[in-house]
Structure 1
Amino acid sequence: MSESDSSRLRHSVIEGARCVVVKVGTRVLTDAQGKLDRGRIESLAAGLCQIAETGRQTVMVSSGAVGAGMGKLGLDQRPTDLSTLQAVAAVGQADLIQAYERALAVRGRHAAQVLLTRNDLRRRDGYLHVRNALASIHALGAVAIVNENDSVAVAELMTTFGDNDRLAAQVAGLLDQALLVILSDVDGLYDGPPEAPDSKRIDLVKSLDGDILGLAQDHRSTLSKGGMSSKLSAAQLATSHGHSVIIGPGREDAVLEKILRGDPVGTLFLPTERTLRGRRRWISGSAEVEGELIVDAGAARALRENGRSLLAIGIQAVQGKFDAGAVVAIKDPNGNEVARGLCNYPSKEVDRIKGKISEMITGILGHRPYDSVVHRDNMTLCG
């Protein structure tokens, strides 16, 4: 693709975005001593306001609470025990949101703090409540500053997103026609190690395949949890939802303004041709998986290749206890996840009808509200 074609494509992506979700990482927001870089927040706030002034819904997913807390408390190393880490995040979160509020207020807007845990998005009603809250914040002319609620999230209970890159992709998944901008300490995806003199930045990625994922070069840090592989995973999730993604240089001055103009900043990832919408988007990106259905090779092939619903006859085993309406992972005999979707029957009933033809369900259970165990309309394929 020529440079002019790439430029036109970038402008088209920007013009088509009704919402912009910006994710900024700890290494961008903190200085060499681990303290909050208030000048960087001022610069980013200016860009956020410029985006908002175009009428686009503007959301910032911001790391930095732990880094801000470390700087405020004079800590040189990131705590390793959970309770101390949560306490440091609580101290830093107050400082972080105050910095955003001050930077936005001088430009006529306010910061709206939104703290989330995975539990807030795993149920469909919670997912919709968060989306509505973000819409209301936009309607009031404020900018939502979203972060994982580190002070209450407990990793052992599987309530964390793992990193704010995935959180940003999930937030983008709440919105329609969104552009996800992930700002990093590197200025995009490179075809080799970013520090190597012969490595070149990739301007455009049309398909996020295995070759592209293999280019990730992670960097260790005492402050942050994400790396390039994390950012590519987030980009993969967002593009499956129909959103374009830009991974760009967070420390470059006026970076958001440049992106808004369509300048060749960072790496642009285009959405997949077949994207997930509505309920399927929630199933794929946010919902909690409560059980597993192991299917035979024929059923796995029918799901992958023909987009069929899952019938009881193709199920070999049921793992976990769940109610009707729960999200389940569907796996082939080798343990590979084929799909996930909403199960029409509780686990105890699926266990009774597995391997049976649909016409036998009434005789076994005394009722047959559904012919399929997981309908294709409530299912997303994996991979």
Structure 2
Amino acid sequence: MSDWKEHRRQVLANAKRVLIKVGSAVLTSEQGLDLRVVSRLADQMSSLHDRGLDLVLVSSGAVAAGRKVISSLCLGAHLPEKQAAAAIGQSRLMHAYDEAFERFGKVTAQILLTKDDLRSRSRFLNARHTFQTLLTWRAIPIVNENDSVAVQELKFGDNDSLASLLLNMVEADLFINLTSAKGVFDDNPDDNPDAGCLECITDILTLEPAKLCRGKTGAGSGGMYSKLLAAKRAAQLGVPTLIVSGKEKFSLEKVFDGEMLGTWVVPQEKSISRRKFWMAYNQETDGELWVDAGAVKALRQGGKSLLPAGIVNVSGNFGVGALVRIMDFEGRPIGVGLSNYKAAELKRVMGRKSSEIASVLGQCPYSEAVHRDNMLLDIAG
């Protein structure tokens, strides 16, 4: 996008619903939860709320707050200990937010989620209705992962991932990720003192996050790498992202008043559907389809459906309608999609033309193994 600055100005001027994520590295210090930061954040968000914006806050900090309270105990890195720390810290985190926002006449609401809440379509829609009702009431939902009960396989991994998935649920117009850095740097500033902050990322789908950021911030679980993956998901959904410092005082108000802080991530011009986004990022894959070079080219460059002729290997024991990961001939993931056939059937027809399906299986309900309408390429994470 040639005039990204004008695009940024228009989005900030016209946004109606904004999702803000703040991490542990911003909210906490060596003394635990920093109440001054919480107060400044509540002040800024309340000011934006007074301008008519709907706001959703995804906040880390529970585990860090809990660790400080029980610092006298021998707290290790095992999951039960982290969950116990989260249980202690979450109530303190929410109490701090309640008090801070109440000073500005704002009502907050706590929502704790696990990945399973977004995986189930009925629970996803129920949570969506809850968010909508709260926003209609002009409350400010404050969201965190339900760390104290989430088992490892149901964890989002970090709140950057959770925030990116919530963009779809709450139908946000803008994603603001508050971080401990000024924005996204063109190299790791810890290793390169000459690294500069990028003003804009115009095509995040071609960006290689691993080359820009190595390592994680100390207090949180994500770091810049996970923030770029979250921004990529947002871009696919058509939502712009602003990665900006949460350490700088009143950075949110400055941004909405026109100051060019942080790194602006331009979304795709042609966004994917919300249904396809939910399918790709909220569901677990049940198998893999490995495809040849011709199929990769047809999928990536031609926007075609995946035909049985392009499949060279089938892994897993999945059924019709299962979500499968599509791999290239060297074993690199290129996307996901819903299979029109069972794994056993695809093993019989892989490498064959679609015209041969009926003679092999006795019927041909679909000429495609995975239709392009049920497929998403270039998955972020």
Q: Give yes or no for TM over 0.5.
A: yes
* 1:140-155 correspondence runs (5 A): 140-155=137-152
2:182 to 178, 187, 198: 187
Give the letter aligned to residue 77 of structure 2.
T
Q: Which residue in the other structure is 1:356 paired with?
A: 352
SS at 2:272's partner residue?
Answer: coil
Residue segments in structure 2 that go unaligned for 5+ positions in a row: none
Sequence identity, in percent? 39
Q: Which residue in the other structure is 2:291 paired with?
A: 295
Q: Does 1:9 align with 2:7?
A: yes
1:305 to 283, 301, 305: 301
Question: 2:241, 2:274 → 1: CA distance?
Answer: 19
Question: 1:109, 1:323 → 2: CA distance?
Answer: 49
Structure 2 vs 1, CA of residues 211 and 378 (structure 1 numbering), >3 Å: closer, same or farther?
closer
Q: Which residue in the other structure is 2:128 paired with?
A: 131
- Per-residue CA deviations over 1:18-67 (Å, capped at 9, x if unaligned) read 3211111101111222x111221121112222333333331111100101
Structure 2 vs 1, CA of residues 189 and 367 (structure 1 numbering), >3 Å: closer, same or farther?
same
Deviates more, 1:262-271 or 1:75-84: 75-84
Structure 2 contact 184–243 (Cα < 8 Å) conserved: yes
* 1:73-84 correspondence runs (5 A): 73-75=70-72, 79-84=76-81
Structure 2 contact 187–211 (Cα < 8 Å) conserved: no
Question: 2:319, 2:95 → 1: CA distance?
Answer: 43
1:206 to 189, 192, 202: 202
Structure 2 vs 1, CA of residues 359 and 127 (structure 1 numbering), >3 Å: closer, same or farther?
farther
Deviates more, 1:341-350 or 1:83-92: 341-350
2:374 to 372, 375, 378: 378
Structure 2 contact 291–329 (Cα < 8 Å) conserved: yes
Q: Does 1:27 align with 2:16?
A: no
Q: Which residue in the other structure is 2:64 paired with?
A: 67
SS at 2:301's partner residue?
Answer: helix
Question: How far is the alpha carbon of 1:87 from its aligned partner?
Answer: 0.6
Structure 2 contact 75–81 (Cα < 8 Å) conserved: no
Give the letter aligned to residue 32 of structure 1.
E
Q: Does 1:37 align with 2:38?
A: no
Question: 2:213, 2:21 → 1: CA distance?
Answer: 18
Question: How far is the alpha carbon of 1:168 from its aligned partner?
Answer: 1.2
Residue segments in structure 1 that go unaligned for 5+ positions in a row: none
Question: 1:51, 1:290 → 2: CA distance?
Answer: 43
Q: Does 1:238 align with 2:255?
A: no
- Per-residue CA deviations over 1:112-143 (Å, capped at 9, x if unaligned) read 21212222223444433333322222112211
Question: 1:140, 1:212 → 2: CA distance?
Answer: 39
Question: How far is the alpha carbon of 1:217 from its aligned partner?
Answer: 4.9
Structure 2 vs 1, CA of residues 322 and 225 (structure 1 numbering), >3 Å: closer, same or farther?
same
Structure 2 contact 158–221 (Cα < 8 Å) conserved: yes
Structure 1 contact 181–245 (Cα < 8 Å) conserved: yes
SS at 1:289's partner residue?
Answer: coil
SS at 1:275's partner residue?
Answer: coil
Question: 1:270, 1:335 → 2: CA distance?
Answer: 30
Q: Which residue in the other structure is 1:94 paired with?
A: 91
Question: How far is the alpha carbon of 1:213 from its aligned partner?
Answer: 5.4
SS at 2:275's partner residue?
Answer: helix
Question: How far is the alpha carbon of 1:198 from its aligned partner?
Answer: 4.0
Structure 1 contact 331–339 (Cα < 8 Å) conserved: yes
Structure 2 contact 288–326 (Cα < 8 Å) conserved: yes
Structure 1 contact 11–261 (Cα < 8 Å) conserved: no
Structure 2 vs 1, CA of residues 160 and 260 (structure 1 numbering), >3 Å: closer, same or farther?
same
Q: Which residue in the other structure is 1:252 paired with?
A: 248
Structure 2 contact 237–274 (Cα < 8 Å) conserved: no
Corresponding residue pairs, total: 377
Q: Which residue in the other structure is 1:172 paired with?
A: 167
Question: 1:154, 1:275 → 2: CA distance?
Answer: 32
Question: How far is the alpha carbon of 1:361 from its aligned partner?
Answer: 3.2
Q: Which residue in the other structure is 2:43 paired with?
A: 46
1:331 to 327, 332, 344: 327
SS at 2:55's partner residue?
Answer: strand
Question: How far is the alpha carbon of 1:236 from its aligned partner?
Answer: 1.7
Give the letter aligned to residue 184 of structure 2.
L
Deviates more, 1:57-66 or 1:126-135: 126-135
Question: How far is the alpha carbon of 1:12 from its aligned partner?
Answer: 1.1
Question: How far is the alpha carbon of 1:210 from its aligned partner?
Answer: 3.4
Question: How far is the alpha carbon of 1:144 from its aligned partner?
Answer: 1.3
